[in-house]
Amino acid sequence: MMELTGSITSILYRKDDFLIAVLRTQKEDIKIKGNIHGIEKKEALTVYGSFETHQKYGRQFTVEYWERPLPQTKNQLITFLASPLIKGCGKKQAQEIVSGLGKHALSTIFKQGSSCLLNIKGIGKKRAAKIADSVRSTLEVQEIVSQLLEYGITANMALRVYKEYGSDAVKTLKENPYVLTELNLIGFSKADDIAKRIGIMPTSGYRIEACLKYILHKSCFQAGHMYMAEDQLLDETAQVLNHHAYGEDIISAKELKNGIMNMEEKSIVIENDCVYPSFLYHHEQNLAHQLSRMKRSRDSIAMSSLERQIDKYQKKHGIILVTEQREAIRELLDKQLLILTGGPGTGKTTVIRTMIAIYKQLFSGHTIRLVAPTGKASRKLAEMTGKEASTIHRLIGYQQGEMPEYHQDHKLPCDLLIIDEMSMVDVRLANNLIQAIHKNTKVLFVGDIDQLPSVGPGNVLRDMIQAGVPTIELTEVFRQARESQIIKNAHRVNQGQSIVFDKEKDDFYFLMQQDPKKIAALLVRSASRFLELGYDLSDILVLSPMKKGPVGTEILNEMLREKLNPIDEVKQEWKIGKRFFRLGDKVIQLQNNYEKQIFNGDTGVITGFTQATDDDGNAIDVMKVDYFGKEISYTKTETKELNLGYAITIHKAQGGEAPIVLIPATASHYMMLARNLIYTAMTRAKEKMVVIGTEEALNIAIANNQIAKRNSKLAERLTKNTN
Q: How far apart, in whole angstroms, are the C-alpha atoms of residue 567 and residue 563?
A: 9
Residues whose CB is less than 8 angstroms from the CB of residue 403 and which lie 6 or more positions away in sequence, other chains included: none
Beta bridge partners of 620: 612
Reduced to 3 states, what is the DSSP secondary structure of residue 128? helix
Q: How far apart, in whole angstroms, are the C-alpha atoms of residue 354 and residue 26?
A: 79
For the chain, how many helices (H) and strands (E)? 27, 26
For the purposes of burial, counting CB atoms within 10 Å of the CB of 41, is it exposed (0-12), middle (13-18) or buried (19 or more)? exposed
Determine the residue type at 649.
T
Q: How far apart, in whole angstroms, are the C-alpha atoms of residue 682 and residue 701?
A: 13
Closest among 309, 351, 346, 314 to 444, alpha carbons compared: 351
What is the Cα gyration radius of the chain? Answer: 30
Please work out, in degrees rounded to the nearest 5, the angle formed at the alpha carbon of residue 719 by the alpha carbons of 714 and 723.
150
Q: How far apart, in whole angstroms, are the C-alpha atoms of residue 132 and residue 142?
A: 16
Determine the residue type at 404.
P
Q: Annotation-wise, does 125 bind a ligand?
A: no
Q: How far is CA 277 from CA 264, 274, 449, in A?
A: 9, 10, 25
Closest among 301, 343, 337 to 324, alpha carbons compared: 343
Q: What is the 3-state secondary structure (H, E, C) of 523-564?
A: HHHHHHHHHHCCCCHHHEEEEECCCCCCCCHHHHHHHHHHHH
Q: E-strand spans in 573-706?
A: 573-576, 579-582, 586-589, 603-613, 619-627, 630-634, 642-644, 647-649, 658-665, 685-693
Q: Annotation-wise, does 348 bind a ligand?
A: yes
CA 66 to chain centre: 32
Please work out, in degrees rounded to the nearest 5, the angle formed at the alpha carbon of residue 494 by the alpha carbons of 491 and 495.
90
Q: Annotation-wise, does 354 bind a ligand?
A: no
Residues whose CB is less than 8 angstroms from the CB of residue 473 and which lie 6 or more positions away in sequence, other chains included: 324, 341, 342
Q: Are 538 and 628 in contact (CB under 8 A)?
A: yes
Please work out, in degrees rounded to the nearest 5, the angle formed at the alpha carbon of residue 436 by the alpha carbons of 433 and 440.
105
Q: Annotation-wise, does 722 bind a ligand?
A: no
Q: Are 66 and 5 in contact (CB under 8 A)?
A: no
Q: Annotation-wise, does 152 bind a ligand?
A: no
Binding residues for ATP are: 345-349
Binding residues are: 345-349
